[in-house]
Structure 1
Amino acid sequence: MRMSEGVEWALHSCLNLSWVDSGRAVTAAKLAAFYELPAAYLNKQLQALTRAGILSSSSGPRGGFQLARSPAAITLLDIVTAIEGPDEAFRCDEILRQGPGGDPETDYRQTCLISQGMRRADIAWRRELAAQTLADIKSSVEQKFPAAPLSTRNRLAALRA
């Protein structure tokens, strides 16, 4: 399974926003310029995060995006789901129904061992993402790279985008 690049962009943008002073918003253009990303495409990801209640946005000269919840209340699964949607990674199309001995009355999504295995893997993946919060990632980054919060704030402030 491969997630879209928007997931990576959204995760990093949320982490960067976690270091911005409370009450301050950052424009999509500045968030995009931080990593030299296309602003229009990043803005779509930021809008998806806003619809999911992860970010809030405001317009005007001091407008932009900020976290709508505390980092401890945002899981990695929240961010991934906001960008990729809630669907399972594997979709059983019940091809066994057309195979030898296929039964049109059987729900192969429930009885197929491949489908069951893929569902278990998807659940485990989602459980792991749901167990990690943005606060967990933020704390780990700050321990490993103590200068990251100040460096991020300074760089965002210096960007002219």
Structure 2
Amino acid sequence: MKYSKATNYALHTMVYLLLIPDGKSIGVRPLAEFLKVSPTYLSKILTKLVKAGIVESASGVNGGYKLIKNKYDMSFLEIIHAIEGPVSMFNCNLEHVESDNQNCLIENVMLNAEFKMVSYLKEKKIKELTEKIDSNIINLIKNESK
């Protein structure tokens, strides 16, 4: 099971956005520097998070990105779906004979495993990680926010 780099960056970005003080935002450049990724690539990821209604953006001198107020308690799964979409990771494309009861036994195992993983990711909240972040990083992010 492998998620895209975009999902990796989105999850990390969400942790950083949770650390920004209320009413503040952070620009794409400081976020890109934290993640060591191109600002252009990160902008595309942030656009998906904005379209999903998780993040809001503001332009201008004090512009940047911040979480939408009611999104402080979001799950890993919400972020993953915003980037990857809610598609299944496995789909059997073989034609099975009638004696299979028209089910793919392999697909059943894979979907059961995926269901368990999805349930876990739905329960895990991004904000749980903020308690484990080094205070130097927290201060750096707070200083970069506008």
TM range, smaller chain: 0.7 to 0.9
Amino acid at match of 1:71: Y
Unaligned regions of 5+ residues in structure 2, if any?
A: none
TM-score by structure 2 length?
A: 0.88
What RMSD over aligned residues (CA atoms) do the two structures have, in Å? Answer: 1.9
User: Identity of counterpart residues, as a percentage?
Assistant: 28
| Superposition deviation, residue 60 in structure 1 | 1.5
Matches within 5 A, 1:1-161: 1-68=1-68, 69-72=70-73, 74-93=74-93, 95-97=94-96, 102-103=97-98, 108=102, 111-139=103-131, 141-142=132-133, 145-154=134-143, 156=144
- Compare CA radii of gyration and give the structure with the larger one: 1
TM-score by structure 1 length?
A: 0.80
Instruction: Tell me how many residue pairs correspond in the alignment.
Output: 143
Unaligned regions of 5+ residues in structure 1, if any?
A: none
SS of 1:32's equivalent in the other structure is helix
* Mapped partners of 1:27, 1:129: distance in 2: 28
Runs of 4+ in 1 over 6 A off after TM superposition: none
Considering Cα pairs closer than 8 Å and 6+ residues apart, tell me whether 1 or 2 has the greater RCO: 2
SS of 1:29's equivalent in the other structure is helix
Could you report, residue by residue, the CA deviation over 1:7-46 in whole angstroms, capped at 9, with x for unpaired residues?
A: 1111111111111111111121221122221111111111
